[in-house]
Chain A
Amino acid sequence: MDEKRQLELKRTANNIRLGIIEGVYNAACGHPGGSLSIADVLAYLYFEEMRINPEQPDMEHRDRFVLSKGHTAPALYATLAERGFFPMEEMRTLRRTDSRLQGHPDMKALPGVDMSTGSLGLGFSAACGMALAGKVKGKDYRVYTVIGDGESEEGQVWEAAMFAAHYKLDNLVCIIDLNGLQIDGPITEVMNPTPHDKKLEAFGWEVISIDGHDFDEIEAAFRRAREVKGKPTAIIAHTVKGKGVSYMENACEWHGQAPKEDLYRVAVSDLSAIGESLR
Chain B
Amino acid sequence: MADKKATRESYGAALVALADKYDFLVLDADLAAATKTGAFKKKYPERFFDCGIAEGNMMSVAAGIASTGTTVFASSFAMFAAGRAFEQVRNSIGYPHLNVKIGATHAGITVGEDGATHQCNEDIALMRTIPGMTVVCPADATEAYAAVEAALNYVGPVYLRFGRFAVPDLTPELVPDYKFELGRGVTYREGADVAIVAMGYMAHLAIEAAELLSKEGIEAEVINIHTIKPLDSELIARAAEKCGAIVTAEEHNVIGGLGSAVCEAVAERCPVPVLRVGVEDKYGRSGRVPELLEIYGLTAENIAAKARLAVAKKR
Listed in ascending order, the chain A residues whose CB lies under 8 Å from chain B are 60, 64, 66, 106-108, 114-116, 118-119, 121-134, 136-137, 139, 155-156, 159-160, 162-163, 166-167
Highest count of chain B CB atoms <10 Å: which of A64, A66, A132: A132
Please pick, from A114, A124, A162, A167, the residue contacting B67 in the complex, using a CB distance under 8 A: A114
How far in angstroms is the closest Cβ of chain A from B96? 4
B217 at the interface (CB under 8 A from A): no
Secondary structure of the A contact surface, majority rule: helix
Highest count of chain B CB atoms <10 Å: which of A60, A115, A139, A155: A115
Known: A126-B67, A156-B57, A167-B49. A107 touches B96 (CB 8 A): yes
How far in angstroms is the closest Cβ of chain B from A249? 32
B243 at the interface (CB under 8 A from A): no
Q: Do B51 and A119 touch across chains, with their CB atoms under 8 A apart?
A: no
How far in angstroms is the closest Cβ of chain A from B308? 48
Q: Do B91 and A130 touch across chains, with their CB atoms under 8 A apart?
A: no
Stretch at the interface among B31-39, B58-66, B276-284, B291-299: B58-66
B 58-93 contacts with A by CB, 8 A: 59-70, 72, 87-88, 91-92
Sorted nearest first, the 10 A-B pairs with minimum C-beta distance are A129-B64, A125-B60, A159-B57, A126-B64, A129-B61, A159-B54, A129-B65, A130-B64, A133-B68, A116-B96
Known: A116-B96, A119-B87, A136-B25. A159 touches B56 (CB 8 A): yes
How far in angstroms is the closest Cβ of chain B from A140? 13
Beyond A60-B69, A118-B91, A137-B70, 10 additional pairs, beta carbon < 8 A: A116-B95, A122-B60, A125-B61, A125-B64, A129-B62, A129-B67, A132-B49, A134-B68, A137-B68, A160-B60
Q: Do A133 and B54 touch across chains, with their CB atoms under 8 A apart?
A: no
Q: Do A162 and B64 touch across chains, with their CB atoms under 8 A apart?
A: no
Q: Do B51 and A163 touch across chains, with their CB atoms under 8 A apart?
A: yes
CA of A163 to CA of B64, assembled, Å: 13
Chain B residue nearest to A127 (CB atoms) is B64
Known: A129-B65, A163-B54. A122 touches B88 (CB 8 A): yes
CA of A124 to CA of B87, assembled, Å: 15
Q: Which residues of B contact A121 (CB under 8 A)?
A: 56, 60
Known: A119-B87, A156-B60, A163-B61. A125 touches B92 (CB 8 A): yes
How far in angstroms is the closest Cβ of chain B from A48? 23
Q: Do B49 and A119 touch across chains, with their CB atoms under 8 A apart?
A: no
The contact sample of 26 A-B pairs, CB cut-off 8 A, is A64-B68, A66-B64, A107-B96, A115-B64, A119-B92, A121-B56, A122-B56, A122-B87, A124-B60, A125-B59, A125-B60, A125-B64, A125-B92, A126-B61, A126-B67, A129-B63, A131-B64, A133-B68, A134-B68, A136-B46, A136-B47, A137-B70, A155-B56, A159-B57, A163-B61, A167-B49
Listed in ascending order, the chain B residues whose CB lies under 8 Å from chain A are 25, 46-47, 49, 51-52, 54, 56-57, 59-70, 72, 87-88, 91-92, 95-97
CA of A167 to CA of B67, assembled, Å: 19
Q: Which residues of A contact B25 (CB under 8 A)?
A: 133, 136
Q: Which residues of A contact B67 (CB under 8 A)?
A: 64, 107, 114-115, 126, 129-130
Q: Do A115 and B49 touch across chains, with their CB atoms under 8 A apart?
A: no
Q: Do B61 and A132 touch across chains, with their CB atoms under 8 A apart?
A: yes
How far in angstroms is the closest Cβ of chain B from A71? 13
How far in angstroms is the closest Cβ of chain A from B29? 10
Chain B residue nearest to A167 (CB atoms) is B49
How far in angstroms is the closest Cβ of chain B from A56? 15
CA of A127 to CA of B92, assembled, Å: 11
CA of A130 to CA of B96, assembled, Å: 15
CA of A163 to CA of B49, assembled, Å: 10
Chain A residue nearest to B56 (CB atoms) is A156
Q: Which residues of A contact B59 (CB under 8 A)?
A: 125
CA of A6 to CA of B92, assembled, Å: 37
Q: Do B68 and A108 touch across chains, with their CB atoms under 8 A apart?
A: no
Please pick, from B47, B51, B96, the residue contacting A115 in the complex, using a CB distance under 8 A: B96
Known: A129-B62, A132-B49, A167-B49. A108 touches B96 (CB 8 A): yes
Chain A residue nearest to B88 (CB atoms) is A122
Q: Which residues of B contact A162 (CB under 8 A)?
A: 52, 54, 57
Q: Do B63 and A126 touch across chains, with their CB atoms under 8 A apart?
A: yes
